[in-house]
Amino acid sequence: MFGSCRRKLLSEVRRSAASCRGFYSDVTSGSNAMYLESLYGQWKANPASLSAQWSSYFEALEAGKSPAPPASSSALRSAAQEANLSRLASATSTSSGSIVPGGSMSGGLQNLIRAYQKQGHMTADLDPLGLHEWRSWFKNDAPELEPSFHGFSEADMESRFEVSFGSISGEATLREILAELSRVYTKTLGLEYMHITDNAKVEWLRKRMENPKFIPSEKEKLLSIYSNLCNVDSFEEFLNNKYKTTKRFGVDGGEAAIAGINAAVERAVVDHGVTEVVIGMPHRGRLNMLTNVVGKDIVQIFAEFKGTHYDFDELMEAIDHEDWSFAGDVKYHLGTSNVREFKGGKKAKMTLECNPSHLETVNTVTLGRMRAKQYYAGNTEAERKKMLPVLFHGDASFAGQGVNYETMQLAKVKDFDVGGTIHVIINNQIGFTTNPDDDRSTLYCSDMGKGFDIPIFHCNGDDPASITSAFELAADWRQEWGCDVIIDVICYRRYGHNETLNPDYTQPLLYKKIAKHPRTEKVFADKLSSSGVVTEDELSAIKQASLDRLEKAFVAADSYHGSAFNWVATEWKGFAKPTDKAEIYPTGLEVDRLKQIGYALCTAPEGFNLHNGLKRQLKKKREDLEAGTEIDWATAEALAYGTLLLEKKHVRITGQDVQSGTFAHRHCVIRDQKSGAEYCFLNNLGLGEQEKFIARNSILSEYGVLGFELGYTYENPHSLVIWEAQFGDFANTAQVMIDQFISSGEHKWLQQTGLVLLLPHGYEGQGAEHSSCRIERFLQLSDDDEDDIPNFASKFGSHQVQKSNWQVVNLSTPANVFHAFRRQVNRNFRKPMVVASTKSLFRHKACKSPLEDFGPDTVFQRLIPERNPEISQNPDEVTRLIFCSGKIYYELVEKREELGLKNVAICSVEQIAPFPFDKMKEQMEKYKNVDMGDGVHPGDVIWCQEEPKNMGPWFYVKPRMVTTAREGLGKDVVIRYVGRRSAASPATGYAKVHAAEQDSVVQAALVGYESANWEVQRPSKLLGHQT
């Protein structure tokens, strides 16, 4: 009967839920079905344990009817948890003759226990300073924790109950039960977990939290915890004594958090087989993390304080002879990698990511590296469990920075999931000088985590034993469930934001309290010695050994010999730094091979139901490949990916719409129109062994996802990793990542990346937000000097790009797209590439390339000269020389043909930065009859752009064109500007105004406006001044 009714139960709730299905209301999905089964089992065991509604529901089911469940979603989960508690708290009073209010299985005691499990943290002893100010600021109370709330009075305190809870198994008085509840849930460790919707996870946590042995008490374990803490504390005190006025952003007041993560890592490595740990964190406590967790040589850290960790002469010599040098960064921003040995000889590679001062920016970078490690290790569940990501946060930044939400939202997304992250908040209860009631609207800084169904531990920073237990349990949780976990270490900041600032100005009362408060090491040592578990002599010996180690390393730092050019990368053997000799390898391939790949990109599996529009596209692609004369942009891109995959190079592209492409041009992942099944052409080339291609539509995030892809590139250089913005200007929401990491990471941290940013760009009348990728911002971040005298010798371009911080390109041919992507990987150094990608050229009839432009001996063209042989072969006939970039080239050519002009040469600058001085010189030199200007007014060498004058490449190219003519030709050229007038908005929203502007730009570039005395310097009010 039970089995048949159970089947009936699931069948009926599925039917009833289907009629009113909502995102959260499907009572049959996942754990909800389990909750119903739990309730049914409880009802069968004791019908009186549930409410009359549930009894009626189950009776109706057994009678063969089809009732609707009395509750769903969170209400259903709560009901199931109540039923579970009923089994745990077998609350039958044994007092003779006494009647306990609410003492039934579903009554007061059960609810009291559940209240502690759910809300015990709200009265827990979490603040080492004893203030708990957040509770008054956010009007926190928990009346449910009072026995009277559940109908009990003082007279009931000695009533006895049968209870299985914590250390109690059997009869206990209500007073004893309350004491045990308080011991578990309201001491120095609070746990929020009853919001988790999966009952199995709730039970897993409850059993461990309520285990009497959860907080260690044995001597060996406590001495180990003290030793870890002492190493952390002694390091901070030592530096404070030696360098009182030096910024180090110490973790004084939050030392137990570093000791805690050390314990978590050790648990993960020794007990769970973790072999890789990647940590991302801000500056507070970073030096301590490097020393005591990652295992960086402490002698080197002291040398960094003394300034002896690098050779100044080596740096100066690099600047003098190589014209490039490492800028370096402050010591509390630096990262490193190190193989560390743990108990039993087990080893793990520890990596701490470099990080700027921008708090939380490193989060997704860390996870991107971790995901790459997991991918290259095989990406099986077993391998992923061997790799642990850890993120440290500040309380104000975790609550205030939106990238934290983006980071956590990636946790379960395909191709972004890293199998769970341990999040640690060093909760100083202050943000620089801002109090918590000003920096958030929630009770806890960690409250965002509750939206992601993960546990949150709140720990008193002065209790290293409970902190260690929480951290070790967090490691167990991550390995068991593959989910994130948050540990909120509530502590304090002993000094100001840094050691040189006086916090008394802004928090006088708080810092009077802190000044009198003993260090965590002292608090814990006193607790251990007073308990009689260990002696003061044992503790003193541990502390002295720690101090002796530091003193010895401090002396050794005087003779430390380091290099300014320490290479941090791990899988990059053989790759050249900017000061090394580099190689660029061919990017062209045999045409027959390209056709083979192209045909595979046009062939769907047998029986696959293609969209009719896609059928036509694939048919056309095949015809174009067979003819070999008109390869479009999307095909060129796919050919680049396919060739790299067959060369065993991994290709990954992510962004909000990358599978089809924002402009429906890519379609690299297609879907069966009947079944919805996916098929990826690039993973099924059928031409031999190949690497994997990943195209994954991402969450609607730029900042977080771009950082993730950047981190992904750090792990292994043998890959092409691309992030594509939906529209180019959306990249400005990731500007921090661009400024602090991508453009400057190599110069600051010697950290190369080959990341590609595809940013759709082009003026097509779509308004301010869909026209410009703000290319001027990327050019402004380019590190080449406009007045540097170029070396026009051979291979100038390859040497130039090696010393540049990145490449900024605006391409105009499919062949150049192909070569640009392949060039990224086919050289022994890596540079980011920013692509002002096209929109309209995907389908432009003239934007095609013959297959021969992809063939052997073809390469990327930094500048494409005049393409019309009739003009290029008669240079003496040319009197007007136009340089432009991107899709406006085709508009200029179309208008030139319409006007029948043969005296105008048009050159497309494909790579804007670093600037192609040598190629520009060739064109200026070729067309000798073009007027260079009179030194004051422009002649007929023109820079033409679609963007307003204060935007686009103009400010960047103008001085470099002048330098080219001056140093290459000995001429003083004045460049004529033709483009839109300066503006605040990138583009107009009026279609007719856009068309008028575009016509004016093209007309002025080709024909111009002559004024003998230069009375008119602006030929149209729609355009900018020509000088």
Please report the sign of the dihedral spanned by the C-alpha atoms of residue 99, residue 103, residue 109, residue 111. Answer: negative
Cβ-proximal residues to 136 (8 Å cutoff; 6+ apart), any chain: none
| pLDDT for res 48 | 72
User: Residue 422 in 3-state DSSP?
Assistant: strand
Task: Give 837-875 pLDDT, tens digit per residue.
Answer: 888 888 899 999 999 999 999 999 999 999 999 999 999
Average pLDDT over residues 799-813: 92
Number of helices (H), then strands (E), belonging to the chain: the values are 36, 24
Question: What is the strand order of the sheet 456-460 is part of?
Answer: 189-192, 456-460, 485-490, 422-427, 387-394, 276-280, 347-352, 336-341
Find where tokens 């040598």 sit: 918
CA dihedral 787, 793, 798, 800 (to 10 degrees): -10
Question: Which of 516, 489, 443, 433 lies closest to 285 in space, CA to CA?
Answer: 489
Task: Give 721-733 pLDDT, tens digit per residue.
Answer: 999 998 878 899 9
Is the pLDDT confidence value at 272 over 90? Answer: yes
Rounded to two decimals, the pTM is 0.89
Task: Give 533-573 pLDDT, tens digit per residue.
Answer: 999 999 999 999 999 999 999 999 988 887 666 655 557 88
Task: Give 874-919 pLDDT, tens digit per residue.
Answer: 999 999 999 999 999 999 999 999 999 999 999 999 999 999 999 9
In angstroms, the Cα distances linking 229 to 294, 346, 464, 499, 517 are 15, 22, 8, 21, 17
> CA-CA distance, 946 to 910, in Å (whole number)?
15
788 versus 667: which is more confidently predicted? 667
Cβ atoms 253, 494 nearer than 8 A: yes
State the first-to-last Cα distance of the chain, in angstroms, to the nearest integer: 92
| pLDDT for res 29 | 42
Is the pLDDT confidence value at 599 over 70? Answer: yes
> CA-CA distance, 761 to 133, in Å (whole number)?
51
> CA-CA distance, 835 to 809, in Å (whole number)?
5
Task: Give 745-789 pLDDT, tens digit per residue.
Answer: 988 888 899 999 999 988 988 888 889 999 999 999 999 889 887
| pLDDT for res 21 | 34
| pLDDT for res 514 | 92
User: Residue 802 in 3-state DSSP?
Assistant: helix
